[in-house]
Structure formats: structure tokens, C-alpha cells
Amino acid sequence: MPSPFRNGEFHSPAAGRHHSHFYSFALNQKLRRLNILNLIMRFASFGFSLAAAIFMALNFSRSSNGTSWVHFPTFRFFVAANSIVAVYTLFEIFTAFWEILKTATLLPESVQLWFDFSHDQVFAYLLLAAVVVGTKEARELRDGGYCEANDAFCVQSYISIALGFCESFKKKLRCGVLFQV
């Protein structure tokens, strides 16, 4: 004879009563703090990616040859990657606000977690690739002597790449912090 305790076959006297999920006040507060931390990190992510994209997009040479970031495919990729991440981060800011205000995720919770995790990973590596190729291009410009005549262009490129690096590092840090809690 199979055990009555297996596969949910055992019925207790309280089985007929409706049971609500028990969430303690401390657990709700911890979840709220985690959601607020998520929102703050999303705002930081948006700020870094938007600043990097704008800073590079406004980068042009003030010399007579009129070189711009548009003339370099790697810098175009850098601007595109940071712009894409800024738009994605705006969506994630909306979902973070939704989660704080409604205490529920926009999508079903397991789908939302996988959506956030997978997109954060993809965009973190996209930003890392953009920073790497941008850094390579900036170093080649410096080593080729281009920066001697166009110092402001190169300095603005370095600053934009540094902002992009901070964003890609912060995005990887966010994945590690929020998904290990």
C-alpha cells in the first residue's frame, strides 16, 4: 500500500480552509528596499549610458579638417550601443516604478526575472564590446599622432569611453548584487 503522505494524498483537518501566503512585515520591507535599490541602479545606468552617448555624439574636431565621431565606425557603434542601452533602461525604470507602486511585477514574476537577467547580460556585454573597440580606436588615434592636432576631440573621446566603461561595469555589478540576494 502506498504511503498516504506521498504526492499530496494526505489531507489535514485544516485542508479545507483558505490559506493566504504569509509575508512578514520584515520581508516586505526588505523586498521594498531591494526594489528601491534596483530603481536607483537603473537611474545610474540610464545616466551613464545617456551621458556616454551624448558626450560622444557631440564630439567633433574643432580643427580645419572637421573630423567627427561619425567618421569612425567604432565610435558609431559606441554611440549606438549606449543609445540602445539608454532606451532599454528607460523601460526598466518604468518596470521598477511599477513594481514599487503595485508590489507586483509587470510580467509574471519568473518571466520578469529571466527577461531582466538575460537582457542585462546581453546589454552589459554589448557595452563592454563598445568600450573595448572605442578604447582601441582612441589608442590608435593617439599612437598615430592624430591627437596632437585634435587634442579636444581625443580628450572628449576618452571621457565618453570612460563613462561607457563605468556603465558596463555598473551593469555587471548590478547583475551580481541583485541576483545573489
Tens digit of each residue's pLDDT (9 = 90 or more) over 43-53: 988 998 998 88
Least confident of 5-14, 90-99, 165-174: 5-14
The total domain count for the chain is 1
DSSP H or E run through 31: helix 25-57
Residue 18 is assigned to a structural domain of this protein: no
pLDDT at res. 23: 62
- pLDDT digits 0-9 by tens, 5-22: 444 444 555 555 544 455
The C-alpha cell 494526505 sits at: 10
Residue 168 is assigned to a structural domain of this protein: yes
Residue 10 is assigned to a structural domain of this protein: no
Predicted structure pTM score:
0.74
Q: Closest by alpha carbon to 67, among 94, 51, 135, 75?
A: 75
108: containing domain: 25-178
